[in-house]
Amino acid sequence: MSVENSSVASTTSVTKGVVIIGAGLAGWHVIDAIRAKDKDIPITLVTTDNGDRYHKPMLTMAISQNKRASDLVRATGSDAAEAAQVTLLANTQVTDIDTTTQQLQLISANRPDPANTNYATISYGKLVLAMGAHPIFPKSLPEDLVWHVNHIERFGQLQEKLATGSQHVAIVGAGMVGTEIAEDLLKAGHQITLIDLNDAPLSQMLPAKATARIAKAVQSQGINFLGGYQVSGVNRISNGEHSGQLQVSYAPVASSSNVNADANSQANTLIVDHVIASTGLTVDDTLPTAAGIDYNRRTGIAVDAPTLRTTADNIYAIGDCMSINGVACRYVAPLRAQAATIADDILGHEHGGYDHKPPMIRLKNKAISVMATGTPQANGNWQVTSESDDELIMELLDDNNDVCATVTIKAPPAVKA
């Protein structure tokens, strides 16, 4: 086993085996699954970070628990690689995939200037793409001024900034992650403004009758929810009373593209200390394009559902970067089953195939209990099956009037009328 932490030797030679790109939950699950069945097959893990093992869903609830990034690390990349007898190429980026020769071209992520970097080429027998997805930053949310909570390193930097005392944070995007972060930061003592294009949180997933309850619960906590607004810009204030803070400009969605709209409707501004983007995920196209595999920027790499093989020979995909039947697979629960299928397929073991079943979706907020099954989407034939002040149960019916999704919303005892 060998570990390379900051650079890639120019003459690296790796015996053909399994190469995994990405050291998130998905990549490490594949390693665990393979090692459970084969202790000897060579495995190389390539990652742009240090490869530390941590549970990413904890990022949206760790600040209120006063946890630092180091508290969330279960094992360092080097320790985990040594335990699994894996060759770890940390701080390393894959820049090209040659499917004909089955080779990858690598570059040190710490030295991105090609003129000053040693390149390396390694071979693979089987390749697993587990590189995840990346936050979307609309043009109105400049990356140098706006945070995201999608990786432990960036989380750690934000946590340090917020540890200095109560601050005003604007969160753009009220999907599951944005809504969870809003409550977490509120519990940590910060002032929160949650902004979304839609009238209520989770509006792309659930019908208005359900999301109205979520909006009421969010606001009852003291979160300032601005529904139906679009952020048009974020700028650093350079002088005056608010020097160093951020000015967030926003406008009603209905008038944001109307040049003749009332000027007052477009003059909304907010002064905050930090802005967090929770505006969706995208999959980088560099490697899928290089490998010539079917891919969609929003949903990810297309795979064969039973085997999780991509359209290129000897290449698999798993986790946030993959899609099944055009639907992104961005939940943690199915990862172990996905990894087990890939391990069996790589090792040539007979297996029954991966049977994709959408996991139970649970919002981690304490202000309201939200549980959904199936593949919920806001638009569709939603029917109420049970409704009271404390609980709402709805079902989504498909074209055949079969139930394809359900949602159950309950008010916890602390917030009951």
Q: For 244-260, how does the pLDDT look when each residue is reduced to its tens digit (9 = 90+)?
A: 999 999 999 974 444 44
**Helices assigned H by DSSP within 108-242:** 152-162, 176-187, 208-220
Confidence band, pLDDT 50/70/90 cuts, at residue 398: very high
Q: Which of 13, 10, 30 is nearest to 21 (CA)?
A: 30
Distance (Å, whole) CA 279 – CA 142? 13
Give the model's confidence band at 108: pLDDT under 50 very low, under 70 low, under 90 confident, else very high.
confident
Q: Which residues pair with 34 in a beta bridge?
A: none
What does the block give as tokens for 16? 């053909």
Q: In this structure, are residues 135 and 281 in contact, taking their beta carbons and an 8 Å threshold? A: yes
Candidate ranges 10-14, 15-19, 45-49; pick with highest mean pLDDT: 45-49
Please choose, from the candidates 222, 19, 198, the residue with its C-alpha nearest in 3D space to the C-alpha of residue 102: 19
Confidence of residue 415 (pLDDT cuts 50, 70, 90): very low
Nearest to 27 by CA among 58, 8, 59, 53: 53
From CA 249, how far away is CA 232, in angstroms rounded? 5
How far apart are alpha carbons 76 and 281 in whole angstroms?
26
Mean pLDDT rounded to a whole number for the chain? 90
The pLDDT, as a whole number, for residue 7 is 39
In whole angstroms, what is the distance from residue 131 CA to residue 151 CA?
A: 12
Architecture of domain 3-133+283-347: 3-Layer(bba) Sandwich (3.50)
Position 272 scores a pLDDT of 98
268 touches 138 (CB < 8 A) = no
The CATH 3.30.390 domain(s) of the chain lie at 361-415
In angstroms, rounded to a whole number, what is the distance separating the alpha carbons of residues 189 and 105?
47
Per the CB < 8 A criterion, the answer to whether 81 and 100 are in contact is no
pTM of the model: 0.88
Residues of the chain with CATH 3.50.50.60: 3-133+283-347, 136-277
Fold of 136-277: FAD/NAD(P)-binding domain (3.50.50)
How would CATH label the architecture of 361-415?
A: 2-Layer Sandwich (3.30)
List Cβ neighbours of 65 (8 Å cut-off, separation of 6 or more): none
- The half-sphere exposure of 367 on its side-chain side, counting CA atoms within 13 A, is 19
Q: Could you report the per-residue pLDDT of 73-87, keeping only the tens digit for each? A: 999 999 999 999 999
Asked whether the beta carbons of 129 and 303 are under 8 A apart, the reply is no
Distant-in-sequence, close-in-space partners of 183: CB < 8 Å, separation ≥ 6: 64, 218, 221, 223, 364, 365, 366, 367
According to DSSP H, which parts of 256-357 are helical?
286-291, 335-347
Positive or negative torsion for Cα 227, 232, 236, 241: negative
**Residue 379 carries which DSSP code?**
S
What is the rounded distance in angstroms from the CA atom of residue 291 to the CA atom of residue 283? Answer: 14
Phi/psi of residue 149, each to 5°? Answer: -120, 75
pLDDT at 412: 82
Predicted confidence (pLDDT) at residue 128 exceeds the cutoff of 90: yes
pLDDT value at residue 277 = 96
> What span, in angstroms and rounded, lies between the C-alpha atoms of 317 and 283?
12
